[in-house]
């Protein structure tokens, strides 16, 4: 009996997830859109992204939208094919994997379905899709690197904590730092990674190792907010000052609201946006009928202790807000 209820609960969970995907009645006057996305539980970013898609591509807004959220690229392709057969007007894709999409894209082309990529690029000929609205990871990295070069007193001794090695975000966000180091504008005193899970604990260990090795550093450049948090925990334990009036400057990425509050409180120094809200822009493209060709990068910003205000945190942040003045250690 116990087992049955538990299995039942599990099934309920599965049904709950699936039910968000289904539920459509075709109506002629609505714009028909098929959205192929990753599952919201992938990250705080994706949660905000999926929520934003559902909010903008709603019936009230004139859309008949169907969403598939899966991390399996084959399921994604199957879903895309399904939408093409259903005869949608637009197909929006955030691909789990960048390669292997040619068949699906060509099928869309033949069927006259216009494809718009969002968040993640696909390795294919640009003629196979209409437009792609992406985050420029390299630009984000450049924003952070420029901030370091302009705000940290010389000599700049930087600890780099990378994300999952080889991921687009890691490559893009690392390149400007590595370039600056090569040009002699800053010293890269430690090069570490939080591993495939962008792990807080791993980041903490990286900084602990740097401290144990007696490295002198004044910037920590962590490629997401969780790793920046882990790095700061290591500094706190070692009694090294950081933040606005401290020795070590802390930079994170992704605009988690807790991270922005930490910046606001001067506990960290800066955070770089990675905007998950592409839906409004795509909506405007579709409604105006004026879809640009090729890759379009979103405009993203960096906020530091001087520039940050509450509205930024409210409008641009992801994940819950711990509240003004609350520091997440």
Partner 1 sequence: MSLLKVRFNRWSHLFLPLSVLVILLLINLIKGVDYFKITMVNGVFYGNIPNILFGAAELVILSIGMTLVTAAACGQDISIGESGAISSAIFVQYVLNAGEVTIWTILAGFLLSCVAGMLIGAFNGTLVSYFNVQPMVATLILFLGGRSIAFIIDGKVSPILANPISNQIGTFIPGVPIQTPIILTVVFIVLVAVVLKTTNLRLYVEAVGVNPSAARLNGINPKKIIFLTFLIMGVCSAVAGFLAVNKAGRHDSVNLLKFIMMDAILAVALGGNSLAGGKFSITGSIIGAYTIEVLNRTLLRLEVNPEAIKAFKAVFIIILMVIASPVVRAFARKLLDKAKTIVTGDSVRQTGALDEAVVSMTDSSGKEE
Given the rule CB under 8 A, which residues bind partner 1?
A: 2-3, 6, 10, 13-14, 16-17, 39-44, 47, 162, 165, 190-193, 197-201, 204-206, 208-209, 212-213, 226, 229, 233, 236-239, 256, 258, 319-320, 322, 326-329
**Distance in Å, CB of 36 to partner 1, minimum:** 19
Beta bridge partners of 124: none
Return the number of the residue (109 or 215) whose C-beta is nearest partner 1.
215
Return the number of the residue (280 or 326) whose C-beta is nearest partner 1.
326
Tell me: cis bond preceding 239? Omega within 30 of 0 counts.
Answer: no
Return the number of the residue (175 or 295) whose C-beta is nearest partner 1.
175
Q: In this structure, what is the dihedral angle of CA atoms 89, 90, 96, 100, given to the nearest 10 degrees?
A: 70
Q: Is the dihedral of CA 280, 283, 287, 293 positive or negative?
A: positive
**Distance in Å, CB of 25 to partner 1, minimum:** 26
Return the number of the residue (2 or 110) whose C-beta is nearest partner 1.
2
Return the number of the residue (127 or 197) whose C-beta is nearest partner 1.
197
**Distance in Å, CB of 62 to partner 1, minimum:** 26
**Distance in Å, CB of 172 to partner 1, minimum:** 16
First to last CA, the chain: 44
Asked if residue 267 lies in contact with residue 246, where contact means CB atoms within 8 angstroms, the answer is no
Return the number of the residue (256 or 273) whose C-beta is nearest partner 1.
256
Q: What tokens does 165 get?
A: 């090695």
The DSSP line for 139-153 is HHHHHHHHHHHHHSP
Own/partner pairs, 129-133, CB within 8 angstroms, 24+ separation: 129/105, 130/291, 130/293, 131/285, 131/291, 131/292, 131/293, 131/294, 131/295, 131/296, 132/294, 132/295, 132/296, 133/278, 133/281, 133/282, 133/296, 133/298
Return the number of other C-beta atoms located less than 10 Å from residue 155's C-beta. Answer: 9
Return the number of the residue (10 or 309) whose C-beta is nearest partner 1.
10
**Distance in Å, CB of 271 to partner 1, minimum:** 15
Return the number of the residue (67 or 256) whose C-beta is nearest partner 1.
256
**Distance in Å, CB of 109 to partner 1, minimum:** 35
The DSSP line for 40-60 is GGG-HHHHHHHHHHHHHSSTT
Return the number of the residue (61 or 319) whose C-beta is nearest partner 1.
319
Rounded to the nearest 5°, which phi and psi values hold at 270? -155, 155
Q: What tokens does 324 get?
A: 């003004």
**Distance in Å, CB of 202 to partner 1, minimum:** 8
**Distance in Å, CB of 101 to partner 1, minimum:** 25
| SS3 of residue 93 by DSSP | strand
**Distance in Å, CB of 137 to partner 1, minimum:** 18
Distances (CA, A) of 138 to 87, 108, 297: 36, 30, 11
Q: What tokens does 106 get?
A: 């060509």
């Amino acid at each position: 009996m116990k087992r049955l209820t538990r299995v039942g609960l599990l099934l309920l969970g599965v049904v709950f997830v699936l039910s968000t995907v289904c539920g459509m009645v075709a109506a002629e006057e609505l714009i028909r859109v098929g959205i192929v996305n990753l599952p919201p539980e992938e990250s705080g970013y994706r949660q905000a992204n999926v929520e934003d898609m559902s909010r903008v591509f709603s019936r009230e807004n004139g859309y008949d939208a169907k969403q598939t959220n899966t991390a399996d690229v084959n399921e994604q392709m199957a879903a895309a094919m399904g939408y093409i057969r259903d005869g949608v007007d637009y197909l929006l894709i955030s691909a789990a994997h960048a390669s292997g999409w040619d068949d699906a894209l060509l099928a869309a082309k033949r069927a006259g379905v216009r494809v718009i990529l969002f968040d993640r690029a696909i390795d294919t000929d640009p003629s196979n899709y209409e437009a792609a609205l992406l985050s420029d990871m390299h630009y984000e990295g450049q924003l952070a690197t420029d901030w370091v070069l302009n705000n940290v007193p010389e000599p700049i001794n930087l600890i780099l904590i990378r994300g999952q090695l080889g991921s687009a975000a890691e490559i893009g966000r690392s390149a400007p730092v590595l370039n600056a180091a090569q040009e002699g504008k800053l010293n890269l005193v430690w090069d570490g990674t939080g591993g495939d899970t962008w792990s807080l604990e791993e980041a903490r260990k990286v900084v602990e190792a740097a401290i144990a090795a007696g490295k002198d550093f004044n910037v920590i450049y962590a490629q997401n907010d969780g790793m920046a948090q882990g790095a700061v925990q290591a500094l706190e334990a070692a009694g090294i000052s950081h933040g606005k009036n401290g020795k070590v400057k802390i930079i994170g990425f992704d605009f988690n609201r807790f991270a922005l509050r930490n910046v606001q409180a001067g506990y960290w120094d800066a955070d770089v946006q990675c905007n998950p809200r592409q839906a409004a822009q795509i909506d405007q493209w579709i409604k105006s009928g004026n879809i640009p060709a090729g890759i379009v990068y979103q405009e993203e910003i960096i906020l530091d202790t001087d520039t940050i205000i509450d509205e930024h945190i409210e409008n641009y942040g992801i994940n819950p807000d711990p509240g003004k003045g609350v520091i997440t250690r």
